[in-house]
């Protein structure tokens, strides 16, 4: 399959999936790939909010700006056309599949590594957890693109 679009999904769309979106957009820009990249959440807890300030800070420390992104919930009607829907953890993947997305389109980001879940850094007390999550996402997004290029 020739990959043309990727949707990254976590719970609230303020920590992990915006980081994945920013990393993926950065890789696309550096490699001159013309792909549609977006992110959303399985919940609407943070609809319209900017990413968590700690996600913005860790992305910025890697020269990626995600400050303009806004949280939105996944929508089976609007998001069905994405070629690949990437869940950050097993629970997100289960929720996405329960909405009726085709199983062949839905993967967990960890499937491009050791099948690990990307931990939610929202409750971490410091930026160290966000840095660890950033590095894990960056590694797995690179592997994902390698698998589909």
Which SS3 state, helix, strand or coil, does residue 86 take? strand
To the query of whether residue 65 is one of the catalytic residues in this protein, the response is: no
To the query of whether residue 120 is one of the catalytic residues in this protein, the response is: yes
Q: Which residues contact 2 (CB under 8 A, 6 or more apart)?
A: none
Structure tokens at 39: 């992110």
Residue 118 CA to residue 104 CA, distance in Å, equals 20
The catalytic position among 10, 15, 38, 40 is 10
Phi and psi angles of residue 9, each rounded to the nearest 5 degrees, phi first: -135, 130
The catalytic position among 26, 38, 89, 120 is 120
To the query of whether residue 15 is one of the catalytic residues in this protein, the response is: no
* Token pair 């089976």 in the structure block, residue: 76
Q: Which residues contact 71 (CB under 8 A, 6 or more apart)?
A: 12, 13, 14, 18, 40, 41, 46, 47, 48, 49, 50, 51
The catalytic position among 16, 25, 54, 72 is 16
Structure tokens at 127: 């930026």
Q: Which residues are catalytic?
A: 10, 16, 120
């Amino acid at each position: 399959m020739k990959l043309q679009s990727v949707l990254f999904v976590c719970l609230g769309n303020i920590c992990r999936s915006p980081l994945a979106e920013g990393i993926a957009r950065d890789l696309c820009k550096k490699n001159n790939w013309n792909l549609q990249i977006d992110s959303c959440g399985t919940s609407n807890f943070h609809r319209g909010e900017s990413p968590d300030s700690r996600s913005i800070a860790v992305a910025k420390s890697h020269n990626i700006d995600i400050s303009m992104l806004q949280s939105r919930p996944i929508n089976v009607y609007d998001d069905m056309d994405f070629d690949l829907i990437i869940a950050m953890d097993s629970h997100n993947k289960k929720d996405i599949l329960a909405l009726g997305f085709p199983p062949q389109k839905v993967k967990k980001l960890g499937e491009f590594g050791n099948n690990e879940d990307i931990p939610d850094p929202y409750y971490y007390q410091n930026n160290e957890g966000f840095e660890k999550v950033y590095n894990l996402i960056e590694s797995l997004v690179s592997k994902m693109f390698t698998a589909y290029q």
